[in-house]
C-alpha cells in the first residue's frame, strides 16, 4: 500500500522557494543535489545513514529508518531557518 505525500505547503506558491532552500541547505551539508529534483537527495541521505531506501515500494522500511532520513533533511532545514532568523534579528536596528 503506498501513501500519498501529505507534505503540503500552506502557500502552494512557495514550493519553488522551499525546493531551492532544501537544495542549498543539503548542498552545504555535503550532499550532491540536483536543483531540479531536490527531493531525490533523500536517497543519498539514506545511503549515508545506512538506510535501505529505494525508488518505488519501501513497505519494508521501518518507521525509525524513514524518520532518520526525514529528520536529517528536515532538521538541517530547521537549523538553517533558525540561524537565518537569529541573523536577521541581530541586524535589526534597536527600538
pLDDT tens-digit readout, 31-84: 999 988 988 999 999 999 999 999 989 989 999 999 999 999 999 999 999 999
- Residue 6: predicted pLDDT: 66
Instruction: Evaluate whether residue 6 is within a structural domain.
Output: no
Instruction: Evaluate whether residue 7 is within a structural domain.
Output: no
> Is residue 67 a contact partner of residue 49, using CB atoms and an 8 Å limit?
no
Instruction: Evaluate whether residue 85 is within a structural domain.
Output: yes
Rounded to 10 degrees, what is the CA torsion of 39, 40, 42, 48?
Answer: -150
Q: Of 2, 6, 41, 43, give the one whose Cα is nearest residue 23.
A: 41
Instruction: Evaluate whether residue 56 is within a structural domain.
Output: yes
CA 43-78-50 angle, to 5 degrees, is 25
Instruction: Evaluate whether residue 31 is within a structural domain.
Output: yes
- For the chain, how many structural domains are there in total? 1
Average pLDDT over residues 20-38: 92
The tally of CA atoms less than 13 A away on the side-chain side of residue 27 is 11
Confidence class for position 28, pLDDT limits 50, 70, 90: very high
Instruction: Evaluate whether residue 80 is within a structural domain.
Output: yes
Q: What is the pTM of this model?
A: 0.78
> Is residue 26 a contact partner of residue 73, using CB atoms and an 8 Å limit?
yes
- Residue 90: predicted pLDDT: 93
Amino acid at each position: 500500500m503506498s501513501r500519498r505525500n501529505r507534505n503540503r505547503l500552506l502557500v502552494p506558491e512557495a514550493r519553488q522557494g522551499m525546493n531551492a532552500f532544501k537544495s542549498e541547505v543539503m548542498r552545504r551539508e555535503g550532499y550532491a543535489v540536483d536543483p531540479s529534483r531536490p527531493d531525490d537527495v533523500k536517497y543519498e541521505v539514506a545511503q549515508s545513514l545506512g538506510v535501505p531506501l529505494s525508488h518505488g515500494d519501501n513497505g519494508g522500511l521501518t518507521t525509525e529508518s524513514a524518520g532518520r532520513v526525514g529528520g536529517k533533511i528536515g532538521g538541517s532545514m530547521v537549523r538553517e531557518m533558525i540561524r537565518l532568523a537569529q541573523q536577521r534579528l541581530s541586524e535589526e536596528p534597536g527600538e
